[in-house]
Amino acid sequence: MPRRKRPEGTRAPNGTSSIYLGKDGKWHGRVTMGVRDNGKPDRRHVESRDEGEVRRKVRQLENERDSGHARKPGRPWKLSKWLRHWLDNIITPTVRPKTAARYRTDVVEYLIPGLGEHRINKLTPEHIEKLYTRLRHRKPPLAGSSIYHVHATLRTSLNEAVRRGHITRNPAQIARPPQLVEPEIVPLSVEEAQRILDVAETRRNGVRFALALALGLRQGEAIGLKWSDLDKSAGTLTIRRALQRGTWQHGCDDPHACGAKYHKAKPCRPGCKAHTRTCPPPCPPDCAEHARHCPKRHGGGLVETEVKSQAGRRVVSVPPHLLDWLSRHRDAQAAERDRAGTEWHDGGWMFSQATGKPIDPRRDYGEWRELLDAASVRPARLHDARHTAATMLLVLRVPVRAVMDIMGWSEASMASRYMHVPDELKREIARQVAGLLWSTDSAAVGDMSEDDRTELTDDQKAAIRLIAQSLPPYWRRRIERLLDDGDGPTAVPA
C-alpha cells in the first residue's frame, strides 16, 4: 500500500507528529519531544502492524511531552546499571556509612539479582511484587521487615530516576510490599539492668554499657565518645559524633576486573559452613563489588560521622555514680597507656582497645552479648538498652520534652516507639482510670472548688495519650474525649 501523502502544496507545522505506512508493511509514528543536549530535535519513533496501536503510542508520547514527564532521549538504562550509579554516586556520599551499607545490601543481594536485567522504563509493579514473593518463599525466607526495606530502597532510587527524567512514573509507588509488622520489643526490667551493671563493674570498658542503660546512648554515640566530651565539673557529657564502620569503595579504573578473583559464579551448596550469616548470591555478570580487596580502596574502616540528627547533638547530665565510675575507668586506661608505651595510639577515645585504637561496632556488640551471658540475662539487642532507658524515664514521670532532649529525638512521636509501659504501671493506670470513670459520686468532680482541682499540663496529657495506646480501643476513645473536653472533666482531683 502506498504511503499516505498530504495534499499538494500543504505542509505540516514544525514539530507536528506524523503517522504513516512504511514500505515494510508496518505503521510508523514520529513525535518531536523537544531538543537533545547537542541542539538537534529529539524525535521519537514507534512502530506496529496495527495503525490504532501506533496512534495510541503517539498520543501517549505527546501527553508525556505536554505534561513535562517525558523520559530522557536515548536507550533507557538497565535497572542494574541505574541502581549501581544511584548507589555509588548519588546516595552514598549523602548518607551515614551504616545507612549506605544497608542500601548496598538491598541493591547487591536482592534487587540486582532479582530485577537487574529489566530496563527501568519497562519495569512494572507486577515484576516487583513477584520478587517479593520469591524472597518470602526462599529458603531461608527473608523476613517481612527486610523485604519492606528492600522495597523502600527501590522506591527511593526510582524516585530519583523520575526526578531526573529517566522514567515518567515510579512502579515501586504502585507495587504493594508485604505488610510491615513491627517486632515486639521487650525492654530490660530494672532487675535485669541491675544485674548487668553489677557484672559490668568488673569488666574492662564496662561503664560504656552503663551509659547506654542510664542515658540511652546509641551504639555509635557511645563508642564515639572522647574524653574532651566530658565536663566533670559540670557533670555533663556532650554528644557530638558517632563512630561507624564505612563500606570500602573501589579507587581503581576497572572495578569489575579488580575484583574478578573474588567473583562468585555459583550459589552455595545446601549446608554451607563457609558463611556465618546468610550465603551471598552469585555475582552478576558486570559485578563491581569486592572493593575491600582493591589496592586503591577508600571510604571504609571506622569512620567518624555526625550524629543522626540535629536533635542528636546534645548535652546530657551524668549521674554522680557514673561520674565516679568514669574516673576509675580513666585511671585504668592511663595504666594501659603506660604498659603499651610506643604502641599506644592516642586518639583521645573514652572507650578503646588495649592499644588506644577505637572499638569496632561488631566487637562492641560481642562484648555486650558476653555481658548478658555473664549476668544470666536473656538475649537482647544492644539497642534494647536505649528502649530500657526511655522506659525508665517514663516510670520516673519525666516530662516528654525533657525525655526528647535526653534521648536526642527530633520528634515527639518517637516516644510511642521507645517508651514501653511496664505491667506495674499499667495496673496503676487502670486503677486511676476506673476511679475517674466509675466514681460513685459523678457530680463530685464538677463540684470541686478551684483549690481542689489540678489542671492537666500538656506533658501530662501527652503521657496519658501515650499510655492509652496500650489500652483497648474503647478506652482509648473515652480517654481522648475526656482530654478533649468532650464529655468529661479537664481536671483531676489533686
What are 249-278's pLDDT values in tens digits? 888 888 888 988 888 888 888 888 887 777
147 and 212, same domain (yes or no): no
Task: Find residue 30's DSSP bridge partners.
Answer: 18, 45
User: Are 248 and 300 within 8 A, CB to CB?
Assistant: yes
Question: Which residue blocks in 300-422 are alpha helix, DSSP H?
Answer: 320-340, 361-374, 384-395, 400-407, 414-418
Q: Residue 34 sits in which domain range?
A: 18-67
Check residue 355 and report its DSSP letter: T
Residues whose CB falls within 8 Å of the CB of residue 385, separated by 6 or more in sequence, listed in order: 188, 209, 212, 213, 216
pLDDT for residue 491: 38
For the record, the C-alpha cell of 328 comes out as 576509675
Residues 205 and 61 occupy one common structural domain:
no
Which range of 85-89, 127-131, 308-312, 377-381 scores highest in mean pLDDT? It is 127-131
Q: What is the CATH number of the domain that holds 115?
A: 1.10.150.130
329 domain-assigned: yes
User: What does the pLDDT average to over 124-153?
Assistant: 92
Residue 9, domain member (yes or no): no
108 and 193 fall within a common domain = no
In this predicted structure, the answer to whether residue 1 has a pLDDT above a threshold of 50 is: no
CB 488 within 8 A of CB 482: yes
| 102 plus 58 within the same structural domain | no
CA–CA separation, 404 vs 252, rounded Å? 45
The grid coordinates listed for 212 are 547506654
pLDDT score at 489 = 37
Window from 9-13, 234-238, 314-318, 445-449 with minimum mean pLDDT? 445-449
**What's the gap between Cα 162 and its chain centre?**
22
Q: Are residues 41 and 157 in the same domain?
A: no
Whether the Cβ atoms of residue 171 and residue 186 lie closer than 8 Å to each other = no
Whether residue 213 is found in the same domain as residue 351: yes
Express each pLDDT in 325-348 by its tens digit: 999 999 999 999 999 999 999 999
Alpha carbons 412 and 141: distance in angstroms, whole number: 35
Cα distances (angstroms) measured from residue 146 to each of 225, 298, 311, 417, 470: 31, 28, 27, 19, 26
Total Cβ atoms within 10 A of residue 221: 25
pLDDT for the residue 460: 63
Q: Please check whether residues 161 and 192 belong to one and the same domain.
A: no
Q: Nine-digit cell at 61?
A: 508520547
Q: What is the pLDDT of residues 378-413, one digit of tens each?
A: 998 888 888 888 777 766 666 666 776 777 766 666
Number of domains in the chain: 3
243 phi/psi in degrees, rounded to 5: -115, 120
Please list, in sequence order, all residues whose beta carbon lies within 8 angstroms of the beta carbon of residue 153, skipping any fewer than 6 positions away.
102, 103, 106, 107, 111
Q: What is the pLDDT of residue 280?
A: 78
pLDDT (0 to 100) of residue 391: 76
Q: For position 396, which CATH number holds? A: 1.10.443.10
pTM: 0.64
Residues 436 and 427: their CA atoms lie apart, in Å, by 14
Cell numbers representing residue 477 in the block? 476513645
Q: Are 453 and 494 within 8 A, CB to CB?
A: yes
Residues facing residue 231 across a β-bridge = 236
**Crossing angle for the helix pair 125-137 and 144-163, to the nearest 10 degrees:** 160
Residue 6: is its pLDDT beyond 60? no
Q: Which of 140, 173, 206 is the last residue of a domain?
A: 173
pLDDT digits (tens, 9 = 90+) for 445-476: 444 444 444 456 666 676 677 666 666 676 67
